[in-house]
Structure 1
Amino acid sequence: MTSTVNSYISQMNELNIEQIHRDAENKLAYWRNDSHRRINEFYQEKLEELQNYITEVKALYETKMRTIGNYLNQLANQQDMSEEDSRLFIHSTNQAIQQTLEELKQICVQINPHPIIIDESEICIGKNFSLKKLARCSSQIPYTESSSAAIATNNEFILLHQHPNLCLFNRSAQLIRQCLWTDEWIRDMCWSTTLQLFFIITSSKVFFADEQIMSIGTVDNFCRQTWFSCTCSDRSLYLSTYEWGSSIFEFNLQQLPALDHQWKPPMTCKPSEGINDIQYSNETLALMVKDGQAHERYLVVKSIRTFDTIWSFSLGSSTNIRLMTCCPLKNNEWLVVDGAQLQIYHITGRGKNVEKIHFESAPYRASFLGSSMLVVASELSLNSYSIWF
């Protein structure tokens, strides 16, 4: 009994409402600063566009003014013309000058900025997520069996492999940009808010791309491992290996490819188990684990500081090889995507199943686009769902 009481006291002491408050304010401050950054970048882009346009307008203006000057010189210096020819010349020249002046008057710079409209649903405070409150699928982006089901999102865009291209879509499912992907099969992708970069993982390489996928590079001198999944915290990039008895590597985002930690079995999983997916959230790391012998499958949530298991959730056994992944929610809750059973589970911060929904097409991955849209990569399409509270 004494140990139980001490355990409760220890858990109570760990609860720090002021720290929770500070963390929430820090998230709001990050959103504000990131919004200011985006506005400034957009302003600079439009300012450069305006300056280029003004240069063109000035050139046109100077050309028109020279034309009028030539006409005036002709009027002032007309000689050896009959009265009729002179009258016709003056009339036609006056018309040409008048037309050129009218063209000059039409030169203007039209700028009609629309006010920024903030969708208040983008920031939800104290509202509970529910799978049953998902709106009907609002859009679908198809892809072929040759495409990877890996996806990555931030507040603005969805990064998706649509064979043979790497594609960037906005929240309206409009294609913003695409580039040919000729490297290995994409295992996984994630977004780093710290670096404002996408990471793209193949079995042997780690790529990074800017938000508009205008430039794609590789991280040099990486460990000689076979990679399978990835996730980012504010400080680190985490990669799991593709093998029974999977390991997890933590790399410093500011000093890539500097290795900070490496966890091996049995801290990560049993030697007979493999990690399908890893996701970071609020100083924890969620692992989707499958036993290759018993075929048991489960979600395990670990502390990123100690790597101790906080809780786990069993998905039962299955010999189906379809992927199972997870996606963080607020309040330390999780979505679990079970492609084998065609289910998505909503799991509480204590490892309890709140609800589940069934999919006709096997779901493989889920990710949030801001806080008002959930995207689910299924067998043959990416599906978007609006979130209603």
Structure 2
Amino acid sequence: MSQQCAESKCERRFRASCDCCNKNLCLQHLNEHNALVISQLTPLTDKINMLCHQLQSFNIHEVTGIGRGKLEQWRKDCHEKIDQIFEKKCQELDYLFTEEMNQQNKKILQIKSKIDKLIREQEATKQDIDLLTSEIHQLDEEITKLNITNFQINTYPLVIEDSFIQINKIDEYKIDLSNVAHVHRTLKIRDGSYTTLADNNQFLLVHQKPNLCLIDREMNVVKQVLWSFKSILDMCWSSTLDQFIIIEEENVFILDDKTMSIQKMKNIQNRSCLSCACSNTSLFLSTNSWGSSILQLRLSPSITMVKEWTSPITCAKDERIDNMTYRNETLAIIIKNNVDKSVRIELRSCETLNRIWSLPLNIISNGPILFRCCSLNYMEWLVTDHENKNLLHITRDGNLKTFVMYDRIPYCAQLLHSNLLIIFTEKGINSHQV
């Protein structure tokens, strides 16, 4: 005897088993179930069409803009180096010719002095005349030859290997803090150096007492300049100015990484600042006080104050902003509480300073040393906990992803070239492949 349809209150006999619910259904309910399954294709079609449109709407030059910018900067730097070598060699060439001219001019003065003496003393012999004639004739030949002097210049082809530029896709999970157990390079730092870092996507800026130094990824000093001002509290790079910003106890300075010239920034209104961060259009400064304010300065066409956020928007009256880091229109802010000594990290909008998320850190601050953070790939963050010798890896949505113990006290960190983590410790600067 045949079975009835499995649908409630249906007295018809089942015709087949439905593959979506595994029930024995009559023809009518089987068709209804089939129609229900088919109807689910429409939103899937809409979704795939939307993804297709999204993919086709990508502007390859906008997506790869940052990378192209780095390539353009590399090309610009290479051209500048070629120009520098060219100018140097031209100066060497001019120097060699000038030296030869000076030698001939010296001989002219010597002969002229002899003639003047003979005229003055009214004493000259035929031997004197013959000798002077011979010397002048020889000098004439030498000067004539000088006019057609050629210099042997040996040039060699400039060899630029394709491997000089490496392009790698960044994996969201590529940053692995377990690799910090292996040190790639180390730069010893002299006592009295200020523990802060900044980079311009090519070189690190560090203080190696008594100088400010540009360091390459192999920890070699590329350029340096004497730092003759007060304590450095923070540093950052401005891609708009194409210069470094340096926060000192009383002033803000600008460092040109090409000439290594240092200039005092104007329009700060004598405000004492503690930390800095740069977006594409603005410089953000936090004041060195409890209940810190945040100043926003427009960078172009001139550096101009445009806004100031004060407590309690920035932080409470008994709190201080230790550090700020910019990334993708947001500011990661490290805030220290002066009452309970707690430390937290917050992500704020650059436009409104509205809080996106806040994460209390398991840190009790027992001293005056500033807490710092740096940005990692994919909007993640790294906080250096010098109190507990930890590195705290924070996710893009404000959760603690992981933390690792570091064998030295970490004061600050910087990610260079997307895969080289630089950590400033009490013994020196370490680099790690991550």
Task: Please state which band the TM-score falls in when normalised by the shorter chain.
Answer: 0.7 to 0.9
- Summarize the Cα distance change of 1:152–1:17 in structure 2 as closer, same or farther, 3 Å threshold: farther
Partner Cα distance (2:308, 2:193) in 1: 31
Matched, 1:206 2:252: yes
SS in 2 for 1:201: strand
Q: Verify: 1:381 aligned to 2:428, yes or no.
A: yes
What is the aligned partner in structure 2 of residue 362 from structure 1?
409
Q: Equivalent residue for 2:370?
A: 323
Going from structure 1 to structure 2, the CA distance change for 1:206 and 1:266 (only over 3 Å counts) comes to same
Superposition map of 1:12-51 within 5 A: 24-51=63-90
| Preserved CA contact (<8 Å) 1:177 1:213 | no
Aligned: 1:270 with 2:316: yes
Find the counterpart in structure 2 of residue 124 from structure 1.
169
Q: 1:139 aligns with which of 185, 188, 191?
A: 185
* Matched-pair contact (CA < 8 Å) for 2:324–2:333: yes
Q: Counterpart amino acid of 2:404?
A: I
Structure 2 residues without counterparts, runs of 5 or longer? 1-53, 102-148
Segment drifting more, 136-145 vs 321-330: 136-145
Q: Shift in Å at residue 33 of structure 1?
A: 2.2
- Higher RCO, 1 vs 2 (CA within 8 Å, ≥6 residues apart): 1
8 A Cα contact 2:267 2:305, kept in partner: no
For residues 57 and 157 of structure 1, what CA distance do their matches in structure 2 show? Answer: 36
Query: TM-score scaled by structure 2?
Result: 0.70
1:217 CA drift (Å): 0.7
CA contact (8 A) 1:288 1:297 kept: yes
Structure 1 residues 352 and 21, CA gap change in structure 2 (3 angstroms): farther
Q: Secondary structure at the match of 1:251?
A: strand
Q: Name the residue aligned to 1:111.
A: 156
Change (3 A) 1:60 1:255: closer
Question: 2-side partners of 1:301 and 1:151: how far apart?
Answer: 21
TM superposition score normalised by structure 1: 0.77
| Cα pair 1:237 1:252 within 8 Å, conserved | yes
Deviation at 1:165, TM superposition (A): 1.9
1:53 positional shift: 4.8
Partner amino acid, structure 1, of 2:85: K
Where 1:297 maps in the other structure, the secondary structure is strand
Deviation at 1:52, TM superposition (A): 3.7
Q: How far apart in 2 are the matches of 1:143 and 1:261?
A: 38
Between structures 1 and 2, the one with greater strand share: 1
2:343 touches 2:365 (CA, 8 Å); kept in 1? no
CA displacement at 1:313 relative to structure 2? 1.6
Shift of 1:232: 0.9
**Contact conserved, 1:151 with 1:188, CA < 8 A, in 2?**
yes
5 Å-filtered alignment, 1:347-358, equals 347-358=394-405
The answer to whether the 8 Å contact 2:247/2:273 transfers is yes
Report the 3-state secondary structure (helix = DSSP H, G, I; strand = E; otherwise coil) of the residue aligned with 1:39: helix
Percent sequence identity over aligned pairs: 29
Q: CA RMSD in A?
A: 2.9
Hey, what does 1:96 align to over in structure 2?
none
Shift of 1:144: 3.6
2:218 corresponds to: 172
Residues 154, 370 of structure 1: 8 Å contact kept: no
Partner AA of 1:36 in structure 2: R
Q: For structure 1, list consecutive stretches of 5 or more residues without a partner in the other structure.
A: 1-14, 63-103
1:16 and 1:343, CA in 2 relative to 1: closer, same or farther beyond 3 A?
farther
> For residues 257-302 of structure 1, what are the alpha-carbon distances to aligned partners after superposition, in whole Å with 9 as ceiling and x for unaligned?
4112211112111111111100100000010001111222110000
Match of 2:300 among 245, 250, 254: 254
Corresponding letter in the other structure for 1:32: L
- 1:108, distance to aligned residue in structure 2 (A): 3.7
The residue identity in structure 2 corresponding to 1:294 is: D
Alignment of structure 1 residues 59-98 onto 2, 5 Å: none
Larger Rg belongs to: 2
> Partners in 1 of 2:194 and 2:230 — Cα distance?
11
Q: Partner of 2:382 in structure 1?
A: 335
Paired amino acid for 1:30: G
**Which portions of structure 1, spanning 4 or more consecutive aligned residues, are displaced by more than 6 angstroms?**
19-22, 56-62
